Structures are given as structure tokens and as C-alpha cells.
Amino acid sequence: MQYQDCENVSTATAVQKDILHSGVQSKADKSPVTVADYGSQILVSLVLKMETPASTSFSMVAEEDSEELRKEGAEEILENITELVNETIVDDGTYSMYFSKEGILSAIDDGKSEGGPSGRHWVLDPIDGTKGFLRGDQYAIALALLDEGKVVLGVLACPNLSLGSIGNLNGSSSGDQVGALFSATIGCGAEVESLQGSPAQKISVCSIDDPVNASFFESYEGAHSMRDLTGSIAEKLGVQAPPVRIDSQAKYGALARGDGAIYLRFPHKGYREKIWDHAAGSIVVTEAGGVVTDASGNDLDFSKGRFLDLDTGIIATNKQLMPSLLKVVQEAIKEQNQAASPL
């Protein structure tokens, strides 16, 4: 399974190199989707299905569906995905099978489950941080398992993240091995290993208890984050370091191994968070000893279907900093609301 993940990651990395001028579509919400997003979703779900005993039902909640690929004008991208997936299966050699274009479309739609509070469901973001992927920056392949509405397993492959700490270097690090695979199982802790296959090492969140020494992660994309709010939270808390801005759930991985102390995620009003954007990352952080909540201090609830039903924002940090972080988050939100409607 892990080997399969690595194959999938190397496929995503290879595709990243030659995708930049072709193979990108825009979805209804204007976010980009690429050949790599579709290809990764098909390959991960193929492995999961093949390894699931026939007696067990298979359910997957995944980001992509075939709608855009069935439209007129999508023939070339569908052709590219079909070629990429079939080539990868042959190169890997584990399974002997061939996907037709119709087979590709229906394999993508294997991820259409609604999830929910009962049974087991895989949760997949085949490329998380597609904008980072297209820029050649951070992205992640994020897979989690929901059991009776709770995340019990998470795997986060970050092909462009250095294996060593990124500290305060704003996502870049020199002379270090690149490609980190984070994993966590409920009750068993969290680990990181190299995507090239080094032994796994236990990880834990940092033990900083004075915000003056803390740094915080947020989205690289300004459009994904209310930076005036995150700036005000950091200032109220007394954080001195500038924000560390990187794409995708790589932020959860970096937080889980103590590269930084806080992750602030405050999308603009009206944005609805999806479970595949947080399931794997949040269990990696909680199993590394951290805490992940919404802005009211509630645990994230993955049992409500494809969306997370939360009020405003997600925060993640260690147990020492969480009480003071929660307090300033609530103050900053109150001030923001008062400024928006002063009467």
C-alpha cells in the first residue's frame, strides 16, 4: 500500500514537470483541476479497491468527479488522463488491467460517496493545493479513513516538502532530502518517513508555550485566507515571526513535526470546508500531540457528509498554546464583526 502511494507520488511529480502548459481545466468554482488530480484519484482508488476484500463494501469520498470531463472540449484532457493512468499501471506492474475512456470516467466517479456517521469511508484529496502544484511549490496527496464518523487513519504525501524541518524558511530549505510521507493511526501516534523509503520516525508537535517564540502557518494563496484576521490574531497573541505561507495540508505535516507552532485557516466568508482538505492532516497533528478545532474550540466533525459543518475557521496548535490562541481568535473575530457592522 505504501509502495503504491510512492508510485502514485512519483507519477504526480513527473506529471507536474510537463503539465504547466496543458492539462489544466477550471472547475465551476473557478478552482483549477489537472490531469494529475484526476490521475492520482483514479490510481489511489484503484489500489484501495483492489486491496479491499470482496466481502467488504467500498466507499470513497473524493474531491474530483467526471462532470467537466464529460463536456464538449474535454476530449484531449480525457485522452491524456487515460494514457497517463494506463502507462502508470504498466510501469508499476502490480496489476494487469487497462482503462478505456469510459472506464476512466466511471473510476473517477467511484469517489462520489457522501460519507456520513456510519460505516467506513475512504476520504481522498488526490492533489491538495493544486495551485501550489502548478507553481512547482507545495502540494499533498491526502488519504484518510473514516470509521463511524471519526478519522482513524491518515496518510499525507508531500513530494516537495523537505524531510528536515522547514523552520522559518518560508517553505524552502537547501541541501535537504525532499519528499515527506506523514502517517497516523488513531491511538498509535504519528510518523514521518522519506518518500524514497527511509525508516519511519515518530513525530510530535513543538513544546513552545510562549507565543513570542511561536511562528504560524497559513495559506500561500491570499485568496484562501483572511490575512487581516490572521495578522490580528498573531499580533494579539504576541507572535513575533512573520507568517510561514505554504500550500496544502503540508502545513499540517510541518506543524505535526514541530516546524512551527500554529496553523491558522480562515477562508473568506461563504467558503465551505471539505472533509478531504482536513481529514488526513488533522489526525497527523492530533496523533502528534496537537489540537485541531474550529474557531469556537469544537473538534472538527467529519460525520456530516462531504462538507465540514463549521462556523468560522480552523486552528491547530499544541496543548500549551491552545487556550490563549482560542481566546485571541474569539476576540479578533468579535472585533472584525463589530467593524463590519458598527451598530
Ligand X SMILES: Nc1ncnc2c1ncn2[C@@H]1O[C@H](COP(=O)(O)O)[C@@H](O)[C@H]1OP(=O)(O)O
Is residue 5 within the footprint of ligand X (CB under 6 A)? no
Handedness of CA 312, 315, 321, 322 (dihedral sign): positive
Q: Check if 130 is active-site.
A: yes
Cα–Cα distances in angstroms (integers) from residue 73 to residues 19, 23, 78, 265, 340, in the given order: 18, 12, 10, 36, 43
Is residue 160 within the footprint of ligand X (CB under 6 A)? no
CA distance 240 to 29: 36
CB 134 within 8 A of CB 32: yes
Of 5, 7, 247, 259, the one binding ligand X (CB under 6 A) is 247
Is residue 68 within the footprint of ligand X (CB under 6 A)? no
**Near Mg ion in 9-48, by CB under 5 A:** 31
3-state secondary structure of 322: helix
Is residue 224 within the footprint of ligand X (CB under 6 A)? yes
If one counts every other C-beta atom within 10 angstroms of the C-beta of residue 241, the result is 15
Is residue 41 within the footprint of ligand X (CB under 6 A)? no
Of 231, 267, 289, 305, the one binding ligand X (CB under 6 A) is 267
Is residue 125 within the footprint of Mg ion (CB under 5 A)? yes
CA distance 77 to 183: 32
Is residue 294 within the footprint of ligand X (CB under 6 A)? no
If one counts every other C-beta atom within 10 angstroms of the C-beta of residue 263, the result is 24
Is residue 110 within the footprint of ligand X (CB under 6 A)? no
If one counts every other C-beta atom within 10 angstroms of the C-beta of residue 96, the result is 7
If one counts every other C-beta atom within 10 angstroms of the C-beta of residue 138, the result is 25
Contacts with Mg ion, 184-223, as mask; x by CB under 5 A: ----------------------------------------
Of 26, 31, 172, 338, the one binding ligand X (CB under 6 A) is 31
Q: Check if 37 is active-site.
A: yes
CB 63 within 8 A of CB 124: yes
By a kind-dependent CB cut-off of 5 to 8 A, residue 224 interacts, out of ligand X, Mg ion, none, with ligand X
Is residue 247 within the footprint of Mg ion (CB under 5 A)? no
Is residue 223 within the footprint of ligand X (CB under 6 A)? yes
Specify the amino acid at residue 147: D
CA distance 143 to 46: 13
Is residue 128 within the footprint of ligand X (CB under 6 A)? yes
Look-up of cell digits 498509535: 188
Residue 114 assigned to a binding site: no
Q: Which of 318, 299, 319 has the alpha carbon at shortest distance from 310? A: 299
CB 44 within 8 A of CB 9: no
Of 65, 137, 259, 277, the one binding Mg ion (CB under 5 A) is 277
Indicate the residue among 89 and 144 with the shorter CB distance to ligand X: 144
Indicate the residue among 134 and 229 with the shorter CB distance to Mg ion: 134
Is residue 277 within the footprint of ligand X (CB under 6 A)? yes
Indicate the residue among 8 and 130 with the shorter CB distance to Mg ion: 130
Of 7, 110, 128, 247, the one binding Mg ion (CB under 5 A) is 128
Is residue 232 within the footprint of ligand X (CB under 6 A)? no
Look-up of cell digits 502557518: 217
Count of residues interacting with ligand X (CB under 6 A): 17
By a kind-dependent CB cut-off of 5 to 8 A, residue 221 interacts, out of ligand X, Mg ion, none, with ligand X
3-state secondary structure of 253: helix
CA distance 9 to 132: 15
Could you give the residue numbers annotated as active site? 37, 130
Binding site for ligand X (CB under 6 A): 31, 63, 125, 128-130, 132, 219-221, 223-224, 247-248, 267, 271, 277
